[in-house]
Structure 1
Amino acid sequence: MPSRGLATHRALTRRGARGVADLPPRPDGPLVWIHCPRAGRRKPAEELARRLLQADLGVSVLLTLGEADRLDPIDDPGLFTMPAPGDEGGVVQAFFTHWRPDLLIWLTGDLRPALVAQARRSGVAMMLAEAEEDGFNAPRFSLRPNQTRRMLDRFDALCASSANAARRLQRLGADPERIEITGPLQEAGAALPCNEELRDELAAELAGRPIWLAAMVHGEELGTVLDAHRRASRLAHRLLLVLVPDDPEEIDSYRARLDDEGWRYICWSEGEMPREDTQVLLADTRGEMGLWYRLSPVTFVAGSLRRGMKGHDPFEPAALGSAVLYGPFVAHHLPAFTRLAQAGAARLIRDADSLAQGLSRMLAPDQAATIGRRRLGRG
């Protein structure tokens, strides 16, 4: 049975509109609504939502985004995800009537008068969190100063991400005594689970072999990944690539490419263990990224090599001890990659040659140990 988060996403996708029809029932008990207008801050918003759920406070969480076309489902019970409702009066009222949130945490800025006003009329406690200096650059905030001041007054708490953001709120009419500088929400990686018994068995089977992971590889990146693996294997003859396709439904095309190029590979779904001569483990099952991250000291985070791609969350491998290689197109997770790169735990690559070079450097024993200490904040 799909999670409620997935059910919500599918209902909204079927409608193709920003209304509230066909939504799952509101859960019993308190509900916290987190609104994240900016796609670039989605990961910290998700982290905040999960921490609220893990705190065992008896709350459910609704996470809304400002850009419906960038919404992906989150398979997490208790966490609902959907686009924010439109500004039409009937839609806004129906949204509040359905969800009846007890607390609204609005992130960054980009306030919408209709939603803020209805939240106040509904008696919802409201917090503006990690307000950003550029979160109030739209002309309406300057052209309608009275409306902007009233919107800010409706919040019970105002938290700015920086001193400049706090000064911006003051210029917009907020009472400086009500503004607290708390900084931005920080992204962090929750360690994905895995079957520990299986991990131990597979680790024993692969003992002594260098391993790297290419995670969520798009079809148009496959050639680059295999070319890099071939080059790196010239220096590490027993090197094993764990290859995770971005879309498991397209597995036949990946197998055809491996067959055409003469690779010795196994498909994980077929229940085989890698042999001594296996060059590629094709990880064609879902829900086992925690296993692959734990086994692989280096992960190439794919979905990042071609223009138009947006990357994937690099904290997932980093949280489990895997150093990160990534391409230049990571717009949705740029702060996370930048943070890891500054710590020496991530390296930018652009093609097969730089990917192979990055692999060789990061798989060297002394370099792997140094990266591990930096990634854990110990050196």
Structure 2
Amino acid sequence: MGESIAAKTIIERLLQLKPDLNIVVTTTTPTGAKQIIEGLGSKVTHHYSPCDLPGTIKRFTRRIQPGALVIMETELWPNWLHHLKSRDIPVILANARMSEKSAQKYLKFSTLSQQMMKAFKLVLPVNDKDAQRFIRLGVNPNQCVTTGNIKFDQQFTCNGDESYFHGWEGDSKTLVWLAASTHKGEDEILLKAHQQVLQSLPDAKLIIVPRHPERFDEVSNLVAGLGFTYHRRSQPDAWNEQNQVMVGDSMGELMLAYKLTDIAFVGGSLVPIGGHNMIEPASLGKPVLSGPHVHNFSEVYRELVGQEGAKTVATVGEISEAVISLMVDEQKRQLMGQKAQAVVEHSRGALEKTVNQLEPFL
């Protein structure tokens, strides 16, 4: 999914420059396909990626007749690379990532790795450390240009009614934390953490936004079953500023919720989903909390944690402790949010650098 988000950002910019560009996008997972199909629609042609077998690759490329292949991040398939190199079709690796752990694995098969790396006409790493690893594996240094991470160049809009909290925002003393894009297995942990928060801060509020609409009723029942006073975003008759929890069961308002809350927990990370887009709250200057499962956005999260704009929390106690600590210390809360926002602002610009490098191949 992460690769699809980055690819979509590049494709949108390329189509602005060349509206008639014929782009075929392949993905390997349904979630990645959904990102492309819903985000780009008929602007591109989508296929699931063929298996990395010589005959399959030959038949696929014969039908597509590509002028160039842009691979996202770390999808390195030997037969793809060998066949396109043999046909002198340029291959570019964009938003390229290579961890030290992965580099060590490739070094165990140095002959194959060098053959693969020499297939690239251009490698565009997200940072200098990744660039050095690609060069160590066999990429020509003259064909390795650090561009930064495209994911930081996403643009977000805050749609919706500014009175999202329905009474909570009227009291400057009321602090609200958001549990965004939660999955099954996470809601109870987060709600139990809020119970502990309320023991120390009785006026604290929680907004919990399930990732999937089909779980709105399930999560609402869980909130009620744990004894919270609550209301749902979609049911104005139940809105009450004294309620302890709101279930965010509206669509298209997550960025608004991020904007209006004080602390953001990004879901899909307490269970092995891989995490969701923490750039969204960070771009708004919110302190970011996340569980340990962040492989969809590992490099982004690593930057945020490294600059103290995000914190990993894995248990009920760790979550409640982090929320309480940030709620009682306004300076700490604002500083952490500023650091998160600074990471995003400092990291912008990769998209234009990447597109400039791609243009000669179009």
Bucket of the pairwise TM-score, normalised by the shorter protein: 0.7 to 0.9
Counterpart of 1:73 in structure 2 is 34
* Residue pairs, 1:42-53, within 5 angstroms: 43=2, 46-53=5-12
Deviation at 1:345, TM superposition (A): 1.5
Higher relative contact order (CA 8 A, sep 6+): 2
TM-score, normalised to structure 2, is: 0.75
Is contact 2:166-2:239 (8 Å) kept?
Answer: no
Kindly provide the CA deviation profile for residues 22-73 of structure 1, in whole angstroms up to 9, marking residues without a partner as x: xxxxxxxxxxxxxxxxxxxx636633531441351224655445x5477462
Evaluate the alpha carbon distance shift between residue 314 and residue 60 of structure 1 in structure 2; reply closer, same or farther with a 3 A threshold.
Answer: farther
Is contact 1:224-1:352 (8 Å) kept?
Answer: yes
Counterpart of 2:261 in structure 1 is 296
Kindly provide the CA deviation profile for residues 119-168 of structure 1, in whole angstroms up to 9, marking residues without a partner as x: 457764432343747469458954558xx54x655543345632342132
* Residue pairs, 1:1-379, within 5 angstroms: 43=2, 46-54=5-13, 56-57=16-17, 58=19, 59=21, 62-65=24-27, 68=29, 71=32, 73-74=34-35, 75-77=38-40, 78=43, 83-89=48-54, 91-97=56-62, 99-107=64-72, 111-119=76-84, 124-129=89-94, 130=96, 132=98, 134=102, 137-138=105-106, 142-143=110-111, 149=115, 154-159=119-124, 161-169=130-138, 178-182=142-146, 185=149, 187-188=151-152, 190-195=154-159, 198-199=161-162, 201-202=163-164, 205=167, 206-208=169-171, 209-272=174-237, 274-306=239-271, 308-363=272-327, 364-377=329-342
Deviation at 1:367, TM superposition (A): 1.9
TM-score, normalised to structure 1, is: 0.72
Is contact 2:278-2:288 (8 Å) kept?
Answer: yes
Is contact 2:263-2:286 (8 Å) kept?
Answer: yes
Deviation at 1:287, TM superposition (A): 2.4
Count of aligned positions: 326
Give the residue type in structure 2 aligned to 1:168.
L
In structure 1, C-alpha distance between the alignment counterparts of 2:262 and 2:170, rounded to whole Å = 13
Is contact 1:212-1:297 (8 Å) kept?
Answer: yes
Identity of aligned residues (%): 21
Higher helix share: 2
Evaluate the alpha carbon distance shift between residue 260 and residue 82 of structure 1 in structure 2; reply closer, same or farther with a 3 A threshold.
Answer: same
In structure 2, C-alpha distance between the alignment counterparts of 1:347 and 1:96, rounded to whole Å = 44
Evaluate the alpha carbon distance shift between residue 92 and residue 354 of structure 1 in structure 2; reply closer, same or farther with a 3 A threshold.
Answer: same
In structure 1, C-alpha distance between the alignment counterparts of 2:234 and 2:203, rounded to whole Å = 22
Deviation at 1:214, TM superposition (A): 0.7
Evaluate the alpha carbon distance shift between residue 80 and residue 267 of structure 1 in structure 2; reply closer, same or farther with a 3 A threshold.
Answer: farther
Any unmatched runs of 5+ in structure 2?
Answer: 347-362
Q: Secondary structure at the match of 1:215?
A: strand
In structure 1, C-alpha distance between the alignment counterparts of 2:109 and 2:84, rounded to whole Å = 19
Deviation at 1:267, TM superposition (A): 1.6
Give the residue type in structure 1 aligned to 2:301.
F
Q: Secondary structure at the match of 1:285?
A: coil
In structure 2, C-alpha distance between the alignment counterparts of 1:70 and 1:88, rounded to whole Å = 23
Is contact 1:62-1:81 (8 Å) kept?
Answer: yes
Counterpart of 2:355 in structure 1 is none
Give the residue type in structure 2 aligned to 1:312.
H
Any unmatched runs of 5+ in structure 1?
Answer: 1-41
Kindly provide the CA deviation profile for residues 189-235 of structure 1, in whole angstroms up to 9, marking residues without a partner as x: 63432325x12x33684222211111122232222211211221233
In structure 1, C-alpha distance between the alignment counterparts of 2:273 and 2:195, rounded to whole Å = 24
Counterpart of 2:352 in structure 1 is none
Q: Secondary structure at the match of 2:135?
A: helix
Kindly provide the CA deviation profile for residues 68-114 of structure 1, in whole angstroms up to 9, marking residues without a partner as x: 47746213124666542113455334533554444322345664343
